């Protein structure tokens, strides 16, 4: 690991959103988890994001496939 | 299955019309198209309801049927395309609105004890209502691309070609959607405590 600038809370939120879209790089993951481990505010926010993402999955749940003509 | 049971399932399906319409509307932004998709979803549900077991998940099942109807609707309209309004998009991409969330060093501007803990005992029905209200508060294009991603599960390329937004702007809109939903739910979680 090189001596990179530590990431900010704001950077952290971008990584949280990007992680829904793509696999983060090892460096990004290290930055994200490193920051959250030391930042109480981001720990609170990350708990909220976890619940939000879980609720969104439930809201738009596609667990049950419709019958009949609805499939592709 | 008794006739009385069938009738009551059909009656119950019909009670979901308003919520299905509201969700279709969030995605399609066109009352006639949303009404058609809702109607088709309800008809498909009523025709195939005997295949459906477990009424607890009725809502889930109806939303999954609606999803296919909304996808059909989007495909039909693809010939015309549904480009976003550039003026409205630039408002939604405006950074000023988010500046207050963080201080100049990029740290949360929220006081440390202000976070609400989402581990409250909100019922699922209550939470669906709150989340729907928060989704409705998102700006037009933000909610449209967010639902395309989270509900319809279109790829970024598909969303960009459907809406005409760049990949960079799509990333910003999805970020904004998640940030705004978190803030909106934060307030709701707070109220429920
Ligand atoms: Zn932080």
Q: Which tens digit of pLDDT belongs to each residue from A49-63? A: 998 998 888 888 754
Q: Where are the alpha helices (DSSP H) in chain B?
A: 3-14, 17-28, 31-48, 58-77, 86-93, 96-99, 124-137, 140-150, 156-163, 167-191
Q: CB–CB of B115 and A44 under 8 A?
A: yes
pLDDT of residue A30: 96
**B120 Cβ contact partners less than 8 Å away, ≥ 6 residues apart:** B189, B192, B193
Pick among 3.20.20.70, 1.10.10.10, 3.40.50.1980, 3.40.50.150: CATH of B95-188: 1.10.10.10
Which tops the pLDDT comparison, B178 or A59?
Answer: B178
- The mean pLDDT of B28-33, rounded to a whole number, is 90
State the first-to-last Cα distance of chain B, in angstroms, to the nearest integer.
Answer: 42
Mean pLDDT for all residues in chain A: 82
Closest to A12 measured CA to CA, from A31, A40, A27, A37: A31
**A4 lies in a domain?**
no
Q: Which of B97, B82, B96, B108 is nearest to B165 (CA)?
A: B82
Q: 């809201």: which residue's tokens?
A: A59
* % of chain B exceeding 90 in pLDDT: 44
pLDDT of A9 > 90? The answer is yes
What is the DSSP code (8-state) at residue B56?
G
The predicted model gives B50-63 an average pLDDT of: 76
Torsion of CA B70, B73, B78, B79, to 10 degrees: 180
| C-alpha–C-alpha distance, residues A28 and B114, integer Å | 27
Split at pLDDT 50, 70, 90, the class of B80 is low
Number of A to B CB contacts under 8 A, please give it: 116
In the DSSP assignment, the letter for residue B102 is B
For A15, phi then psi, to 5°, come to -65, -40
CA B108 to chain centre: 27
Quote the pLDDT of residue A57.
Answer: 87
For tokens 């990029």, the residue is: B106
- Please calculate the CA angle B30-B18-A49 and round it to the nearest 5 degrees: 85
Let me know if residue A54 belongs to a domain. Answer: yes
Handedness of CA B161, B167, B172, B176 (dihedral sign): positive
* Average pLDDT of span B156-167: 91
Q: For the CA atoms of A45, A47, A49, A50, what is the dihedral angle to 10 degrees?
A: 170
Taking all residues of chain B, what is their mean pLDDT, rounded to a whole number? 84
Helices (H), chain A: 9-18, 26-38, 40-59
Q: Is residue A15 part of a domain?
A: yes
Range of the domain at A53: 9-60
- Model pLDDT for residues A34-45, shown as the tens digit of each residue: 999 999 999 999
Residue A64: exposure state from Cβ atoms within 10 A (0-12, 13-18, ≥19): middle
Res B68: pLDDT: 94
Which of these, A48, A56, A4, A46, lies nearest to A25 by C-alpha position? A4
**Which segments of chain B belong to CATH 1.10.10.10?**
95-188
Instruction: Provide the ipTM.
Output: 0.83
The yes or no reply on domain B3-79 and CATH 1.10.1200.10 is no
Show Cβ contacts of residue B87 under 8 Å, excluding neighbours closer than 6 positions: none
User: How many independent structural domains does chain A possess?
Assistant: 1
Q: Measure the CA–CA gap between A60 and A58, rounded to whole angstroms.
A: 5
CA of B67 to the centre of ligand 1 (A): 37
Domain limits, CATH 1.10.1740.10, in chain B: 3-79
Yes or no, beta carbons of A63 and B67 under 8 Å apart: no
List of chain B residues whose C-beta atoms are within 8 Å of the C-beta of residue A14: 175
> Residue B61: pLDDT band by 50, 70, 90 thresholds?
confident
Chain B interface, best mutation among A5, A8, A9, A65, by max B CB count within 10 A: A9
Cut 0.90: pTM above it: no
The residues placing their C-beta within 5 Å of ligand 1, an ion, are A 9, 39, 42
Q: Residue A3 — pLDDT band, cuts 50, 70, 90?
A: low
**Cα separation, B22 vs B29, whole angstroms:** 10
- Taking residues B28-45, what's their average pLDDT? 94
Is residue A68 over pLDDT 60?
A: no
């Amino acid at each position: 690991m090189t001596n990179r600038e530590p990431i900010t809370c704001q950077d952290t939120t971008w990584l949280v959103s990007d992680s829904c879209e793509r696999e983060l790089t090892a460096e990004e993951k290290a930055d994200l988890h490193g920051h959250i481990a030391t930042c109480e505010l981001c720990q609170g926010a990350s708990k909220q994001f976890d619940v939000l993402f879980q609720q969104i999955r439930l809201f738009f749940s596609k667990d049950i496939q419709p019958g009949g003509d609805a499939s592709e | 299955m008794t006739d009385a049971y069938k009738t009551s399932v059909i009656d119950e399906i019909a009670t979901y019309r308003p919520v299905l319409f509201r969700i279709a509307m969030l995605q399609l932004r066109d009352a006639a198209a949303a009404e058609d998709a809702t109607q088709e979803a309800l008809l498909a549900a009523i025709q195939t309801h005997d295949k459906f077991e477990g009424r607890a998940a009725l809502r889930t099942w109806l939303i999954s049927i609606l999803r296919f109807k909304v996808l059909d609707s989007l495909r039909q309209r693809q010939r015309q395309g549904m480009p976003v309004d550039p003026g409205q998009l630039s408002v939604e991409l405006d950074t000023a609105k988010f500046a207050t969330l963080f201080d100049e060093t990029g740290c949360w501007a929220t006081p440390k004890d202000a976070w609400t803990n989402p581990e409250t005992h909100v019922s699922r029905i209550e939470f669906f209502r709150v989340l729907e209200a928060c989704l409705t508060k998102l700006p037009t294009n933000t909610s449209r691309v967010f639902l395309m991603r989270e509900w319809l599960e279109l790829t970024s390329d598909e969303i960009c070609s459907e809406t005409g937004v760049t990949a960079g702007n799509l990333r910003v809109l999805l970020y904004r959607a998640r940030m705004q939903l978190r803030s909106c739910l934060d307030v709701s979680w707070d109220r429920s405590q």
